Structure 1
Amino acid sequence: MDLGTGLLDMHIDLVEELLSGPQDWDRRTHWFTVLAAAVTPSTIHLWSRRRPESADLLLLHAWADLLQGRRRGRLDNAQDIIVACHHAARLQPADPGPWTVLLGVLRDLRRHPREVFPVWDEIIRRDAWYREGHLQMLGYLSPEECGSSTQQNAFVDNATARMPLGAPPVALELHVLLGRYRRAVTSNGLTGLLADRIFDQPFANSVLGHALSTWPRPGFLSHAAALADLNVLAYLAAHARHRDAANAFRAVGATVTPWPWRLDGDPLEQYSTWRKYFLTRV
């Protein structure tokens, strides 16, 4: 065994150990998305030789292919991903992950709701408050994809009315607000010039005010992607020039996520500039 193969074997052992922990589907999906962004084809190939029937391998491969396709702007192997998702679902029937990747593929293919909603039902049947599944469905229902603002709002209203306090999909309303703001910013004419007025509306005031007063409290958010949601909160609070924006930046600390800061340029530069602005004002 050469050194390269030995290192890959070590990587696979570490990944398998990580994924063999308690079945917290939300946290496992967070790990899968992080790993999928970094995994190499050689690691996938060696793992498939070691564990050809591993549900985790199939799911990681599917996630990686979906992310790569989105980076390219097209899915060249959509059918292969779909087959892998169904295979992983058979091997690990309790896991909402394969159905969530499948939903992501159907989003990119702009499939009809009659094909998409049964997949959504499979997700929430396994985990009613599964963050990644909710965000995928929110994207599908957006005006930019296969839905409308009305459909998106109805989806979020229905979810938030029943959602337990601090559940993993806690940021749904913030993602809706972010979508409204970005649509305004990228519009021509007066709408684009007055994009910041979005934050003067009652919905924005209510959503931002509640999140800024509760989310930064120690222990309030405990789901795996809490820092990603806090980054969205900090971004929106900064652009809204909210008086309590500093709370969000303190909660984020030094853990900057590319989204949504990359919308305006280099994420680290954007975050650092805004953070300095708000933390030196108080």
Structure 2
Amino acid sequence: MAFFISRGRSPRLAPELDDAELGKLLKRLVPTAGTGTAGGVETGVAQIARLLEQDPAAFDRRAHRFAVLARFLSESRLPAAWAKREPHKADALVLHAWSDLEQGRGNGEMTDAAAVWKRCLLAAELAPRDPAPWVVMLGVARLERYARQDVFAVWNEIVARDRWHREAYLSMLAYLGPRESGSLGQLLEFVDSVRTRMPANAPCAAVELTAHVMQYHSARARGGAEELLAGNHWRSPQAAELLERARLMWPRPEFFSHAAAVADLNLLAYALTAAGRRREAVPVFEAVGGRVTGWPWHLDGEPLDCFKSALGKAR
């Protein structure tokens, strides 16, 4: 079976995934993001605004673009400059707030959580149907360890606007896990509550597999006998059934249509490799097309190296 790598497409880290327009914008922003000139900021802001304005009702695509841009610009003055220039433009406020959230995640705390929250509330007033401001607020509430009722109140605002919002489901999965405010039992209860009602190709379809990867790595992190036996997790009936179902459906062309489908395929390739089902991972690697995500590969080391190693074993 011919692999993509034999056709000259070497694996690379691709935060934009298969969003070609976003990828082109990131390349154009490289010389602009760090510049302090007014012309550079103006050019960058105009390019970002055009991309985000393409389809204001495509919440899934917009969330992906906001998340990638926020991470890329978390150390840049562009988001703040845009919000200052257009203080009543929802997209500008959301990007500024989201980039501040990403910076806070890197630092372990927010510099001014109240100001970020205020910007999100204003953005929510300006764009009442858009879940994006509430997604940022959910991230702030988690990072700042707000009361549980406040976290769930924000969660309810998101799903009222976008029932299967990928970022929101993954955010709540982490929040309810033992590393934040919950436990393994709460995490599994959350997964059980959504998997029977969720469409198989929903944007948040990877929630269950994400939970399994979290459990697998939790066992590995405990060391000793549990680390040695962690691979047995993938032989449990529930995990094995999930992998079988996902490997048959997810790589199919057009099965997924959400913006982060390539990220979910990376997750599946990782899980199949961890489970020792390397031959079955071959079609998944082909569907990934060399577009590598940081998570979950970084759990085992440098993401690109880990991806290439797993690819080589699958071949």
Q: Into which bin does the TM-score normalised by the smaller protein fall?
A: over 0.9
> Aligned partners of 2:147 and 2:241: how far apart in 1?
34
**1:76–1:45 CA distance, 2 compared to 1 (3 A):** closer
**The one of 205, 209, 234 aligned to 1:174:** 209
1:258 to partner: Cα distance = 0.8
Q: Which residue of 2 aligns with 1:73?
A: 108
Alpha-carbon contact 2:141-2:151 (below 8 Å) kept: yes
Aligned residue in 1 for 2:223 = 188
Note the 1:88-99 alignment, pairs <5 A: 88-99=123-134
The aligned counterpart of 2:48 is: 15
1:83 matched residue in structure 2:
118
Deviation per residue, 1:175-213 (Å, 9 max, x gap): 100110110110032111211111111121011111111
Aligned AA for 1:259? W
The match for 1:30 is 64
| CA shift digits 1:22-46 (9 cap, x unpaired) | 2111110000011111225331243
Q: How do residues 34-183 of structure 1 correspond to structure 2 at under 5 angstroms? A: 34-39=68-73, 40-183=75-218
1:144 aligned counterpart, secondary structure: coil
Whole-Å separation in 2 of the counterparts to 1:265 and 1:3: 35
Distance 1:153 1:229 in 2: 19
Deviation at 1:143, TM superposition (A): 1.4
What value does the CA root-mean-square deviation take over the aligned residues? 1.6
Q: Which amino acid aligns with 1:275?
A: L
CA distance in 1, matches of 2:174, 2:102: 15
Name which of structure 1's ranges 46-55 and 81-90 shifts more when overlaid on structure 2: 46-55
C-alpha distance in structure 1 between counterparts of 2:83 and 2:94, whole Å: 12
Offset, 1:3: 9.6
Q: Give the CA deviation at 1:112.
A: 2.6
> Matches of 2:84 and 2:120 in 1, distance apart?
19
Check if 1:237 corresponds to 2:272: yes
Which of 254, 257, 262 is the matching residue for 2:293?
A: 257
Q: Hey, what's the Cα distance between the residues in 1 that align with 2:79 and 2:163? A: 31
Q: What is the Cα deviation at residue 114 of structure 1?
A: 1.4
Equivalent-residue separation in structure 2 for 1:45 and 1:116 (angstroms): 26
One-letter identity of the residue aligned with 1:257: T
Q: Indicate how the Cα distance of structure 1 residues 42 and 144 shifts in structure 2: closer, same or farther if over 3 A, else same.
A: closer
Partners of 1:50 and 1:108 lie apart in 2 by 28
Query: Which residue does the alignment assign to 2:283?
Result: 247
Question: Which residue type is aligned with residue 120 of structure 1?
Answer: W
CA–CA distance in structure 2, aligned partners of residues 188 and 237 of structure 1: 22
Per-residue deviation, 1:125: 0.6
Percent identity between the two aligned chains: 43
Alignment CA distance shift 1:117-1:45 (3 Å): closer
Please identify, of 59-68 and 240-249, the stretch whose mean Cα deviation from structure 2 is larger. 240-249
Secondary structure of 1:162's aligned partner: coil
Amino acid at match of 1:194: L
Whether the aligned pair in 1 keeps the contact of 2:97 and 2:120 (CA below 8 Å) is yes
Which residue does the alignment assign to 1:267? 303
- SS of 2:77's equivalent in the other structure is helix
* TM-score, length of structure 2 as denominator length: 0.85
- SS of the aligned residue for 2:182 comes to coil
Deviation for aligned residue 1:165: 2.9
Partner SS for 2:292: coil
Q: CA deviation at 1:110?
A: 2.3
Task: Name the CA distance, whole Å, in 2 between partners of 1:105 and 1:192.
Answer: 33
Amino acid at match of 1:122: E
In 2: Cα distance, 1:7 partner to 1:111 partner: 38
Distance 2:83 2:149 in 1: 34
Q: 5+ residue gaps in structure 1?
A: none
What letter matches 2:292 in structure 1? V
Contact 2:166 2:204 (8 Å CA) reproduced: yes
Task: Provide the C-alpha distance between the structure 2 equivalents of 1:141 and 1:26, rounded to a whole number of angstroms.
Answer: 23
